[in-house]
Structure 1
């Protein structure tokens, strides 16, 4: 082979090597060299090849630097993940997590597990710590290899009742370690129970007037068909029962709408004195029928808060109406407003106070629950649905406000709405 031919071969091999390192840029350089080789006079191809190599030499380092950075990042990421300890990974889990060995002894427990179940020092036997039958069976099933993973429900009753969904499984293959993760289901169970109670109570409240109306209809179609006096009496009772059902349905719909609304703080300001004046005026006939006088005790300062006017009217209508109905023996109801300057916390407060029989202390924490009644017969006699204070609580929560109740038997009760500072 001639010297000229061997020079060409070496040049092409060098270009191919560069091409593998930087394909797009070198492809253009190689194309130029080949074109010159085919068309230019003898010797010109060597000049073109050298120029192409200079171009590659100038451009290739930037590409190589990028590659080095990518490779360094990949190495760093791999080393960082491998460098994480099992304790750090367990600590990052917010649910209680316990790692144990083939003897059922604790190897490691994260902070959430220690907070939920007390001290879990390494070496403690889980079969002695969790004595509930379902936990014993779950631990043994995993340890003895009957199942690779198992789930069960576990109830921890001390210091407060908590319901967990427990998953036990082996860690990897042939490690001799096992893990239990406790998923707290308490809130979900509470909501399910509350929903079931709500449906049962609502069904009961509707069933009673429906049964009454059905019975009177049957009587009117039978024995009292021609009894004018009985017919008028029964029709009046039926009208009252249907009105009660209508009020109950309205309150249920109102509560449902409130629960579906997002929690937000409206940008509109509402003057509480104007709202209370409107409420007192609308309830004047009810107060007169109950032989109750509604008194105002408003401060001279402004009492504007952020809120929805219609919802706040609903809050104070419920509170003032309850005070008139259940505190009527006291003969008066006092509605007072205090601005933020009168409160050390800077809150604006509205208090509705009656002077009736009061509320027993053990009932106060529960009066805002749905359908909770201190005296069911008295409540029904006053046309109550058992949902008024639950609606009040929901509306105040939407306004980032809260309700406090104080009462002494024989001295009446005071319901105070607290609006936070702006």
Structure 2
């Protein structure tokens, strides 16, 4: 008993979950964090009935038998989320006690999985056009060497595949830049109305070519905010271009901007820019994942229209930098709406009627 008291004091002072197992294999001390993690009474119980997971049990048995230290992984769930801990176990001198500390490495594990998935996705996205190019080059050097119509057809396809790779590399570089800048708040002042009008002017030829009626409902005047004009234009270009491409020929794309002195979502003044199309809509199942890198609700159609699967991921990181939000609503057969909400630090607006 004299040995367990100081052990209890030490464990209670640790910020991470920790517990001590005595030589009789019973738990003799644990802190509040460990109690919350285990979710059951533990003092006085055999450690196997509390920890249960084979890798942890085996590591504890080794330390109780005299091994100086060991590590194991401990897995649990927090609601619908998987949590991973590294358990460091150490044998304490002649007392024969095993001390366990739990370190939450979920974020590191998730980051590692995201890196692996990212590399795999990039490799897959590049492999397809590269394989096509290699096949066409081989054909042009052989059977189609003297076939002029086939040569022209293959060269056009090769150009499309090359442009696809170029778009992918461009989006990868853009994603890298916006991720690097995400924690740096923009300091310049921009007129969000002017940025939106410039975006629509640039995309109007694309809308005409696609037979889409681009309808702006923007206020006249200015709405000033702290922001990066180029990045904000990239956000609006992505959203409006997507609406034009996926909305369908002969349909409308409505771009509406509203200023509110008090937005509940921001708890302060803000501006919302909604881009709505009249396309086939998006299955609600896909909406929560649309901003993930390389996630596509319709991968075949997305690729056919030149999408890289990175556009909305770039939008998300830019909005994070500007402390903004993206709200996506859609109903199958009823079109989709992508709404950007941006905070305004103060009332720096000069608005007239919509125009």
TM-score by length of 1: 0.76
1:175 aligns with 2:95: yes
C-alpha distance in structure 2 between counterparts of 1:306 and 1:92, whole Å: 44
Contact 1:91 1:111 in 2 (8 A): yes
- Secondary structure of 2:286's partner? helix
Q: Does 1:162 align with 2:102?
A: no
Q: Is the 8 A contact 2:182 2:320 kept in 1?
A: no
Structure 2 residue aligned with 1:118: 39
How far does residue 262 in structure 1 lie from its aligned partner after superposition?
A: 5.5
**2:28 maps to 1:107:** yes
Instruction: Return the alpha-carbon distance in structure 2 between the equivalents of residues 154 and 326 of structure 1.
Output: 45
Contact 1:151 1:166 in 2 (8 A): yes
Which structure 2 segments of 5+ residues have no match?
346-355
Greater fraction of residues in helix: 1
User: Is the contact made by 1:154 and 1:165 (CA closer than 8 Å) also made in structure 2?
Assistant: yes
The reply on whether 1:363 has 2:283 as its aligned counterpart is no
Instruction: State the partner residue of 1:273.
Output: 193
Q: Where do 1:23-422 residues align within 5 Å?
A: 87=8, 89-145=10-66, 147-157=67-77, 159=79, 160-171=81-92, 173-261=93-181, 263-299=183-219, 302-329=222-249, 331-341=251-261, 343-344=263-264, 345-346=267-268, 347-422=270-345
Deviations, residues 166-187 of structure 1 (Å, cap 9, x unaligned): 111123x323432100111111
The list of structure 1 runs, each at least 4 consecutive aligned residues, that deviate by more than 6 angstroms after superposition, is none
Q: Against the structure 1 CA distance between its residues 91 and 292, is the aligned structure 2 distance closer, same or farther, given a 3 Å change threshold?
A: farther
C-alpha separation in 2, matches of 1:354 and 1:274: 22
- The answer to whether the 8 A contact 1:330-1:354 is kept is no
Distance in 2, Cα, partners of 1:410 & 1:339: 29
- Greater Cα radius of gyration, structure 1 or 2: 1
Q: How has the CA–CA distance of structure 1 residues 302 and 94 changed in structure 2, closer, same or farther, with 3 Å as cutoff?
A: farther
Within 2, Cα distance between the matches of 1:319 and 1:403? 11
Alignment partners' CA distance in 1, 2:14 and 2:260: 43
User: Which deviates more from structure 2 when the two are superposed, residues 285-294 or residues 378-387?
Assistant: 285-294
Q: Within 1, Cα distance between the matches of 2:161 and 2:203?
A: 22
CA distance, structure 2, for counterparts of residue 413 and residue 308 of structure 1? 26
Could you report, residue by residue, the CA deviation over 1:16-70 in whole angstroms, capped at 9, with x for unpaired residues?
Answer: xxxxxxxxxxxxxxxxxxxxxxxxxxxxxxxxxxxxxxxxxxxxxxxxxxxxxxx
CA distance in 1, matches of 2:342, 2:24: 57
The SS at the match of 1:280 is helix
CA distance in 1, matches of 2:221, 2:40: 55
Matches of 2:211 and 2:291 in 1, distance apart? 26
Q: 1:329 to 1:88 in 2, by over 3 A?
A: farther
Count of aligned pairs between the two proteins: 337
Per-residue deviation, residues 124-144 of structure 1 (Å, max 9, x unmatched): 222111222101101111122
**Could you tell me how far 1:339 is from its partner in structure 2?**
1.3
Q: Distance in 2 between matches of 1:85 and 1:403?
A: 52
Q: Shift in Å at residue 390 of structure 1? A: 0.6
Distance 1:224-1:184 versus aligned 2 partners, 3 A rule: same
Q: Which has the higher contact order (CA 8 A, sep 6+)?
A: 2
Distance in 1 (CA, whole Å) between partners of 2:185 and 2:157 is 44
Q: CA deviation at 1:337?
A: 1.2
Query: Structure 1 308/232 Cα, relative in aligned 2: closer, same or farther at 3 Å?
Result: same
Aligned 8 A contact 1:301 1:339 in 2: no
TM-score normalised by length of structure 2: 0.90
RMSD over aligned Cα atoms: 1.9
386-395 vs 219-228, greater mean Cα deviation: 219-228
